[in-house]
């Protein structure tokens, strides 16, 4: 079947080729009635806009490259779903790739996105990312939005949550419910997220007059297996702490597994407050208390910021930090 072009649409709609071009590009002055008529005609003819040609004419792509460090964690599934939806509503498409926590792979993906001519890049960076890693995009005038983890010293805009506040309210919730000792389990200790949370937790302990020795940080892999092994080791070494704070809800499933195997009752023998607030927390028993860091909103806000920059709004670095909230369920022992 012969491909339908804008000339055929113009002939069928009884308008000029320029009018069809204006309708398809969103530029120029075209009445609402004419725009509706042209779009209906184009749809009836099976017209598909050539985005590559349109980009060459306008100099602007409608494609956003999204590079996540990990897609296995349910947190990122929620994030990318809202990101894609926000971009689609504004007429942008997303191309998704995963770095799998591999710095070299991330560098190659950024270069590939640049070579494909994306309009912007949204990056959830791997833990070794530096400002130099983003220069290949920024030299080409492609704006970069870093989400979840910041890249200190870079010109990239940042969308995430207040990590210090997240750690503080998690620890404060436990302390207010009678916990006096706690362990922070999992996560990479050279990331802004991990350090922000850890510092917030320590601030809560100091505020409550509790010695820092009552708090233990155990960084490590972002897998449930690591969290399970870490709690088993803690239990084997001596008395359990009053509470644990796994780095995310995914790791919390490993804590629950260790508790089941060791006969430890969650919410009675051990309190748990995690981070993310993804659906898995509601199917655990008892349901998981967690700090909601709004992954869907982070995704949507990242897309909106990227599109603002593409459309010519200020490309200066902006920080959008959401305020976290505790969702208190059954995994925290209530103080008497």
For the domain 163-293, what is the CATH superfamily, name and number? Response regulator (3.40.50.2300)
pLDDT at 55 over 60: no
**Token digits of residue 131:** 């400002």
Do the Cβ atoms of 65 and 145 come closer than 8 Å? no
Per residue in 121-155, pLDDT (tens digit) is: 999 999 889 999 999 998 888 999 999 999 989 99
Prior bond of 258 cis (ω within 30°) = no
Same fold, 63-161+295-322 and 163-293: yes
Element housing 165 (H / E): helix 163-176
Q: What's the CATH number of domain 6-49, 3.40.50.920, 3.90.1150.10, 1.10.260.40, 1.10.287.70?
A: 1.10.260.40
Residue 27 CB: number of other CB atoms within 10 A? 10
pLDDT of residue 212: 94
- Any residues with CB less than 8 A from the CB of 149 and at least 6 apart, and which? 69, 124, 125, 127, 129, 160, 191, 192, 193
What gap in Å lies between CA 272 and CA 173, rounded to an integer? 10
Q: What is the pLDDT of residues 197-214, one digit of tens each?
A: 999 999 999 999 999 999
For the segment 20-47, what is each residue's pLDDT rounded down to a tens digit?
Answer: 877 776 666 788 888 889 888 888 887 7
Segments making up each domain of the chain, as ranges:
6-49, 63-161+295-322, 163-293
Pick 63-161+295-322's CATH classification: 3.40.50.720, 3.40.1110.10, 1.10.580.10, 3.40.50.2300.
3.40.50.2300
Question: Which whole number is the average pLDDT over 305-329?
Answer: 92
194 within 8 A of 219, measured Cβ to Cβ: yes
Has residue 59 got a pLDDT over 60?
no
Q: What pLDDT score does 48 carry?
A: 64
Q: What is the pTM of this model?
A: 0.80
DSSP β-ladder status, 120-123 and 215-218: unpaired
pLDDT digit string (tens) for 142-193?
Answer: 999 999 999 989 999 999 999 999 999 999 999 999 999 999 999 999 888 9
Mean pLDDT of 299-317: 91
């Amino acid at each position: 079947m012969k491909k339908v072009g804008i000339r055929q649409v113009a002939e069928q709609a009884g308008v000029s080729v320029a009018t069809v071009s204006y309708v398809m590009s969103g530029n120029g002055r075209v009445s609402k009635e004419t725009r509706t008529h042209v779009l209906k005609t184009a749809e009836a003819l099976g017209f598909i806009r050539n985005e590559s040609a349109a980009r060459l004419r306008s100099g602007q792509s409608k494609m956003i490259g999204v590079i996540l460090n990990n897609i296995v964690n349910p947190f990122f599934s929620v994030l990318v779903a809202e990101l894609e939806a926000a971009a689609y509503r504004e007429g942008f498409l997303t191309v998704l790739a995963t770095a799998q926590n591999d710095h070299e792979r991330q560098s190659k993906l950024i270069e590939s996105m640049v070579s494909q001519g994306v309009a912007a890049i949204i990056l959830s960076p791997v833990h070794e990312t530096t400002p130099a890693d983003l220069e290949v995009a920024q030299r080409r005038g492609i704006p970069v939005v870093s989400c979840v983890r910041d890249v200190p010293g870079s010109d990239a805009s940042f969308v995430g949550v207040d990590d210090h506040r997240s750690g503080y309210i998690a620890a404060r919730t436990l302390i207010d419910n009678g916990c006096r000792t706690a362990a922070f389990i999992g996560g990479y200790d050279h990331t802004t997220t991990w350090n922000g949370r850890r510092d917030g937790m320590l601030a809560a302990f100091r505020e409550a007059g509790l010695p820092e020795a009552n708090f233990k940080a155990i960084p490590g892999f972002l897998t449930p297996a690591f969290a399970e092994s870490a709690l088993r080791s803690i239990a084997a070494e001596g008395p359990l702490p009053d509470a644990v704070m796994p780095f995310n809800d995914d790791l919390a499933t490993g804590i629950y597994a260790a508790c089941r195997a060791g006969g430890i009752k969650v919410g009675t023998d051990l309190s748990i407050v995690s981070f993310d607030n993804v659906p898995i927390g509601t199917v655990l028993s008892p349901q998981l208390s967690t700090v909601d860091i709004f992954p869907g909103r982070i995704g949507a806000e990242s897309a909106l910021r990227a599109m603002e920059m593409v459309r010519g709004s200020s490309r200066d670095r902006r920080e959008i930090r959401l305020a976290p909230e505790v969702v208190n369920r059954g995994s925290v022992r209530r103080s008497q």
